[in-house]
Amino acid sequence: MYEAVIGLEVHVQLSTNSKIFSGSSTAFGAEPNTQASLIDLGMPGVLPVPNAKVFEMAIKFGLAIDAKIEQESIFDRKNYFYPDLPKGYQISQFEKPIVGPGRVTIMLDNGTTKTINITRAHLEEDAGKSVHDVFDGMTGIDLNRAGTPLLEIVSEPELRSAKEAVAYLKVIHSIIRYLDISDGNMAEGSMRCDCNVSIQPKGSDVLGTRTEIKNVNSFRFVEKAIDTEIHRQIEILEDGGRVVQETRLYDPDKDETRPMRSKEEANDYRYFPDPDLLPVVLDSSFIEACNASLPELPATRRARYIAEYGITEYDAGVLVADRDLADYFAEVANISGEGKLAANWVMGSVLAELNQTSKSIIEFPVSAKQLSDLVSRIKDNTLNSKTAKTVFDALLTSDGEVDTIIEQEGLVQMTDTSAIETIVDEVISENSTQATNYRAAPADKRPKMLGFFVGQVMKKSQGKANPQAVNQILASKLAD
Amino acid sequence: MSLTSDHVKRVAKLARLGLTDAETAEILAQLNSILNLVDQMQQIDTKNVMPLAHPLELKQTLRADAVTEMDQREKFQNTAPQVNAGLYLVPRVVE
């Protein structure tokens, strides 16, 4: 039996207006090289000047993971040659990063929690983009992305499975979204993940040789890439082979990892302090201001939702993972005063609709006010679960008031007992054979047979009868 | 510590420099004399000296997060050896 040892390096693009060392715009989607200044192009005779905002963002992240914030940090040069890195080095932080050791808590499938230590988080610049396969024998270079600020978050190798790695990544994603320091969009590359994977015999403390899977760009691919790589390494060891330390790429189409060629040949970055940049020394007041502007973080909010709305730990975990979804839920719960019902609807119909349409809650057509009206009408028995779904579907496509829709569609729930009794009587007389069978049946078979009658009554009432009342009246009338 | 010509060749490769054997020998001698100087400096007791990241004992100034650079692509690309569709072209880097 083997055990996996996984550590992640997560690169997060910080959502500043300008680049980390120049005044070029970082806006996404501009024409190639229109946002690449002399500094971004690596021209001689110009000097980088750091953007204060990136320190504010990094510090907020550090405070959110309970990390040590370094008042003094240093930029180093990481040297390698690749055409999308015009200076021949990337400005990064090596020996003295801005954020020291911290930790986050992840939720495991069995409901328990696990603390994952974070080694460090440091600031660096992104490289440009290379366009292969378009120009005959040539590579095209777009340097708009060169110099975009990145925060690289390095975990300790404390993750033990692909699932844990994804849980960790989701916590990091949730934190950066709450802090609003990045849009966290993995598909567009605003959050990228390198996975260090090794395996060792279970219980052993001798670390196996690790491989690094570069630039995985979705939660699902992180899980699949790690699982695939663990299996590959197990097979090598089982066949008596040796895992080679190397950088690999994950191919989602073939669901395999394969060694990366080209730039990794000589992994010798020759880090040294960048003489173009002085040590950055931040005042305590700067750090204190970051602390004062911290929003409520996911873990705190989860605890608050459990206490305030009486929802389960699991529900609270799902709801707070996305800040916008959490806000939406809270609004529905606050207006309607119904925490549990609101949670059921947001986690049920709302999330299902979002998943199906691949939309975010921001683009969702049903406002929190509309959903809270719906929840209120369920609570006061105007709607039952079936008619409520009809109203919800109507809200998805039209922009009406809940009460107007209920009126227009004639959906007011029938709670008038005599009206329901009339329908029940009709149904029993129309289905006399079934009624006779029911009365002849032993008591333990009856509940199941009652379902038939309930269905008929609901149908006849066009779904408007209160199901609890229907059940009661049917059971007593059929018992005669 | 003293270097061998293999060290010099490796560093030259990392820096993408092509050296002739004569140049390698010449640079080897120069680098070794620099390292000798470093060896001398190593003799000094620096136990009570703070490590220095920069010879200037100053703090870095920071700038506000504002876009101050205008698009000068046309000007910059005038001096580039080859451009196409706004991209800088370089010899192909992957097979």
User: How many CB atoms lie under 10 A from the CB of residue B6?
Assistant: 10
- pLDDT for the residue numbered A433: 87
A268 chain-B contacts, CB cut-off 8 A = 14
Instruction: Give the containing element (helix H, strand E) for A29.
Output: none
Strands (E), A166-223: 191-201, 211-216
> Do the bridges between strand A72-73 and strand A2-13 make them parallel or antiparallel, or are there none, so unpaired?
unpaired
- Provide, rounded to the nearest whole percent, the portion of chain B with pLDDT above 70: 98
- Whether B56 has its CB under 8 Å from any CB of chain A: the answer is yes
Rounded Cα distance between A229 and A182, Å, is 29
Q: What pLDDT, on the 0 to 100 scale, is given for residue B95?
A: 55
How many Cβ pairs closer than 8 A exist between chain A and B? Answer: 128
**For A262-319, how does the pLDDT look when each residue is reduced to its tens digit (9 = 90+)?**
444 556 888 999 999 999 999 999 999 999 999 999 999 999 999 999 999 889 989 9
Q: Which of A34, A38, A52 sits opposite B65 (nearest CB)?
A: A52
In chain A, what residues touch B61 (CB-CB under 8 Å)?
A: 49
pLDDT for B67: 98
**Are B65 and A18 an interchain contact pair (Cβ–Cβ within 8 Å)?**
yes
Instruction: Quote the pLDDT of residue A480.
Output: 59
**Which letter does DSSP use for residue A71 in this model?**
S
Residue A289, chain B, CB below 8 Å: the answer is no
- Tell me what pLDDT residue A180 has: 95
The kind and range of the H/E element at A220 are: helix A219-238
Contact A474, A450 (CB under 8 A): yes
Cβ separation of B66 and A31 shorter than 8 Å? Answer: no
Q: Rounded to the nearest 10 degrees, how much is the dihedral formed by the CA atoms of B85, B90, B93, B95?
A: 70
H or E element: which one contains B43?
Answer: none
B50 touches chain A (CB under 8 A): no
**Contacts of the segment A103-111: beta carbons below 8 A, 24+ positions apart:** A103/A65, A103/A66, A103/A67, A104/A65, A104/A168, A104/A171, A104/A172, A104/A175, A105/A171, A105/A299, A106/A164, A106/A167, A106/A168, A106/A171, A107/A167, A107/A317, A108/A163, A108/A164, A108/A167, A109/A163, A111/A313, A111/A314
Judged by CB atoms closer than 8 Å, whether chains meet at A83 and B77 is answered as no
CA distance B53 to chain A (A): 6
**% chain A with pLDDT above 90:** 67
Across the interface, of B14, B16, B93, the residue whose CB is closest to A130 is B93
pLDDT band for position A33 (cuts 50, 70, 90): very high
Condensed to tens digits (0 to 9), the pLDDT of residues A233-248 reads 999 999 999 999 889 9
Nearest Cα neighbor of A126 from A150, A92, A151, A142 is: A150
- Mean pLDDT for B2-18 is 89
Main-chain dihedrals φ then ψ at residue B81, nearest 5 degrees: -60, -40
Residue A99 burial (C-beta neighbours within 10 Å; 0-12, 13-18, 19+) = buried
Helix (H) or strand (E) holding A94: none
Query: Assign residue A50 a region: left if phi > 0, alpha if psi is -120 to 50, beta otherwise?
Result: beta
Per-residue CA distances from A292 to A180, A197, A288, A289 (Å): 15, 38, 6, 5
Q: Does A280 touch chain B (CB under 8 A)?
A: yes
Give mean pLDDT, residues A317-331: 93
What is residue A436's predicted lDDT score, i.e. its pLDDT? Answer: 86
With a pLDDT cut of 90, the percent of chain B lying above it is 77
The stretch A175-193 carries a mean pLDDT of: 94
d(CA A129, CA A83): 9
pLDDT score of A261: 62
The string of DSSP letters for A143-159 reads -SSTT-EEEEEEE-S-B
| Contact state of B92 with A137 under an 8 Å Cβ cutoff | yes
ipTM of the complex model: 0.89
Chain A residues touching B69 at Cβ < 8 A: 18, 22-25, 35, 37
Tokens 């975009």 found at: A148
Give the burial string for A186-215 (b: 16+ CB within 10 Å, else e).
beebbbbbbbbbbbbeeeeeeebebbbbbe
CB contact (8 A) between residue B91 and residue A18? no
CATH code reported for the domain at A417-479: 1.10.10.410
Distance CA A57, CA A16 (A): 9
Arithmetic mean of pLDDT over chain A: 91
Mark yes or no for CB contact B62/A51 under 8 Å. Answer: yes
The arithmetic mean of pLDDT across residues B29-38, rounded, is 95
Question: Does the structure show a pLDDT above 80 at B76?
Answer: yes
Residue A455 clears pLDDT 90, i.e. is over it: no
Type of residue found at A201: P
Q: What is the pLDDT of residue A230?
A: 96
Q: Hey, is A437 helix, strand or coil?
A: helix
Neighboring chain A residues of B89 at a CB cutoff of 8 Å = 135, 138-141
Q: What is the rounded distance in angstroms from the CA atom of residue A268 to the CA atom of residue A260?
A: 16
Give the model's pLDDT for residue A264. Answer: 47
Domain boundaries, chain B: 5-42
Please state which CATH class domain B5-42 belongs to: mainly alpha
Looking at residues A67-79, what average pLDDT do you find? Answer: 96
- Interchain pair A50, B62: CB under 8 A: yes
Amino acid identity of A197?
A: V
Q: How far is A63 from chain B (nearest CA, A)?
A: 21
Check whether A80 has a pLDDT greater than 50.
Answer: yes
Asked if B87 and A34 come within 8 Å (Cβ–Cβ), the reply is no
Which tops the pLDDT comparison, A409 or A265?
A409
Q: What is the pLDDT of residue A341?
A: 94
Model pLDDT, residue A467: 80
| A83 interfaces chain B, CB cutoff of 8 Å | yes
User: Which residue is closest to A95 within chain B, CA to CA?
Assistant: B53
Residues of chain A with CATH 1.10.10.410: 417-479
Q: Name, in order, each residue with C-beta under 8 angstroms of A16's C-beta and a sequence gap of 6 or more.
A: A26, A51, A53, A54, A57, A149, B65
For the cut 90, the answer to whether the pLDDT of residue A108 exceeds it is: no
Query: Which residues of chain B lie closer than 8 angstroms to A83, CB-CB?
Result: 88, 90, 93
Interval A157-185 mean pLDDT = 96
